[in-house]
């Protein structure tokens, strides 16, 4: 099903390079090297095309987007075209001069991720000594440049009981917003699922804390909360629906409906090096495979929520059920929901973490297999 509607948002993964090594990173296990990345001219052209298509917001991400020296140029192009720019950064490479330069070029908003609410947890999960202190300084630089700040708090077993400390951190750093997002199990997080899976009691404590803090801080701090998938009864609309209003461009120019879509092995994605962005958005078979609701099998086909959550996440359906077109197994109406409930209990305290790194050997990748009758937790 092709579309005449333009996309509203774009996630530009400028690079997979990053000084941190988070074991929940949503980048693919097969990380790209710098020499695979689009050139300055190619990215600039992509951003001009996106603006021509009517994209309103570009999220500049990675890896660590500030490692691209030409980030300033990209922000200048997008600002000139009236596109809102959001920088999603780990913050450890930022200096005040760089922040000022990005702000001068027209950057609109900054999100800094904290792997923990304390240096002990941040430095451990990011596998970088001193990372937490650097992030604190980066947040100050953002405020010195009068830019709005969001703190990203990716949550899992190792930091779920720091929820109230994360909120205090956001207040101390004068952030407008905090995004408390429980880890979604794609990429490196899927590989580390057993280690990162929180316990139900911790999830319940977290939800209670968030309810209280939202009430207490109304009008002062916006608290966005992404509930942990495996403990939910209904899925989220992944990316607002497959190829519905946003797309992702990976460092080498591959265009995808979501950042984890490359995990669907039968799917072929086009690249901005070979086709115009608008043609890919409208006509690419990968985009049209799960666009809208016509492709849906039961139970989604006859479900009243199908225009709300679009059947959830295709990558999660594949990872847990073995078929991308199935209803997201997070859904209580899915015949595979029992697998998700078992997976939610499969956390292993003190299980070994595999930190993100370039050149991980493929046998580790082979550990991630769908559930089956003989293998009910998919490990």
* Chain positions contacting ligand SF4, by CB under 6 A: 18, 20-22, 25, 27, 62-64, 90, 113, 234-235, 299-300, 303, 305-306, 309, 311-312, 327-328, 331, 333, 356
Dihedral-angle region of residue 219 (phi above 0 means left; psi in -120 to 50 means alpha; beta otherwise): left
Q: Which residues pair with 155 in a beta bridge?
A: 182
Of 84 and 355, the one with the shorter C-beta distance to ligand SF4 is 355
Of 238 and 280, the one with the shorter C-beta distance to ligand SF4 is 238
Of 49 and 93, the one with the shorter C-beta distance to ligand SF4 is 93
Of 280 and 327, the one with the shorter C-beta distance to ligand SF4 is 327
Contact 18, 61 (CB under 8 A): no
How far are the Cα atoms of 82, 122, 163, 327 from residue 198, in angstroms, in the given order? 42, 17, 13, 24
Of 18 and 197, the one with the shorter C-beta distance to ligand SF4 is 18
Please tell me the distance from the alpha carbon of residue 193 to that of residue 354, in angstroms, as a whole number.
10
Residue 344 Cβ, how far from ligand SF4 at the closest point, in Å? 17
Cβ contacts of residue 278 below 8 Å, gap of 6+? 49, 52, 53
Of 29 and 51, the one with the shorter C-beta distance to ligand SF4 is 29
Contact 152, 111 (CB under 8 A): yes
Of 63 and 347, the one with the shorter C-beta distance to ligand SF4 is 63
Among candidate residues 75, 63, 223, the one with its CA nearest the CA of residue 147: 75
Residue 56 Cβ, how far from ligand SF4 at the closest point, in Å? 24
How far are the Cα atoms of 83, 170, 223, 254, 332 from residue 153, in angstroms, in the given order? 26, 10, 11, 28, 27
Please tell me the distance from the alpha carbon of residue 318 to that of residue 340, in angstroms, as a whole number.
13
Residue 368 Cβ, how far from ligand SF4 at the closest point, in Å? 17
Of 306 and 342, the one with the shorter C-beta distance to ligand SF4 is 306
State the number of CA atoms in the 13 A half-sphere of 321 facing the CB. Answer: 19
Beta strands in the chain (DSSP E): 9-13, 57-61, 84-89, 109-113, 149-155, 177-182, 222-226, 246-249, 255-256
Residue 64 Cβ, how far from ligand SF4 at the closest point, in Å? 6
Residue 126 Cβ, how far from ligand SF4 at the closest point, in Å? 6
Residue 357 Cβ, how far from ligand SF4 at the closest point, in Å? 9
Over its C-alpha atoms, the chain yields an Rg (Å, rounded) of 20
- The residue whose two tokens read 């590989």 is 191
Of 90 and 223, the one with the shorter C-beta distance to ligand SF4 is 90
Residue 330 Cβ, how far from ligand SF4 at the closest point, in Å? 8
Residue 186 Cβ, how far from ligand SF4 at the closest point, in Å? 12
Residue 6 Cβ, how far from ligand SF4 at the closest point, in Å? 25
Handedness of CA 177, 59, 180, 224 (dihedral sign): positive
């Amino acid at each position: 099903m092709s579309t005449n509607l333009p996309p509203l948002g774009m996630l530009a993964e400028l690079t997979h390079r990053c000084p941190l090594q988070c074991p929940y990173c949503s980048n693919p296990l097969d990380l790209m090297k710098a020499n695979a990345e689009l050139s300055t001219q190619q990215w600039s052209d992509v951003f001009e095309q996106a603006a021509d298509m009517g994209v309103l917001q570009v999220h500049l991400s990675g890896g660590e987007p500030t490692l691209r020296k030409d980030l300033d140029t990209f922000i200048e192009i997008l600002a000139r075209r009236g596109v809102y720019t959001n920088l999603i950064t780990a913050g450890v490479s930022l200096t005040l001069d760089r922040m000022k330069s990005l702000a001068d070029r027209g950057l609109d908003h900054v999100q800094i991720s904290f792997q923990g609410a304390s240096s002990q947890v941040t430095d451990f999960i990011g596998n970088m000594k001193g990372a937490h202190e650097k992030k604190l300084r980066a947040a100050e630089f953002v405020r010195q440049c009068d830019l709005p700040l969001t703190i990203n708090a990716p949550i899992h077993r190792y930091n779920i009981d720091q929820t109230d400390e994360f909120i205090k951190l956001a207040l101390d750093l004068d952030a407008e917003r905090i995004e408390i997002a429980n880890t979604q199990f794609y990429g490196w997080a899927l590989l580390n699922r057993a280690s990162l899976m929180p316990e139900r009691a911790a999830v319940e404590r977290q939800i209670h804390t968030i309810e209280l803090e939202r009430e207490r801080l109304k009008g002062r701090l916006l608290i966005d909360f992404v509930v942990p998938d495996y403990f939910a009864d209904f899925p989220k609309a992944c990316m607002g629906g497959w190829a519905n209003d946003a797309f992702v461009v990976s460092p080498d120019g591959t265009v995808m409906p979501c950042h984890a879509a490359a995990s669907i092995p039968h799917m072929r994605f086009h690249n901005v090096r070979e086709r115009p962005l608008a043609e890919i958005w409208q006509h690419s078979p990968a985009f049209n495979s799960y666009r809208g609701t016509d492709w849906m099998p039961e139970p989604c086909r006859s479900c009243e929520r199908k225009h709300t959550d679009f059947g959830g996440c295709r990558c999660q359906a594949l990872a847990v059920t073995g078929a991308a077109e199935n209803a997201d197994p997070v859904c209580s109406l899915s015949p595979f929901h029992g697998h998700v409930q078992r997976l939610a209990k499969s956390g292993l305290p003190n299980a070994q973490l595999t930190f993100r790194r370039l050149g991980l050997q493929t046998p580790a990748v082979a550990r991630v297999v769908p559930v089956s009758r003989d293998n009910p937790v998919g490990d």
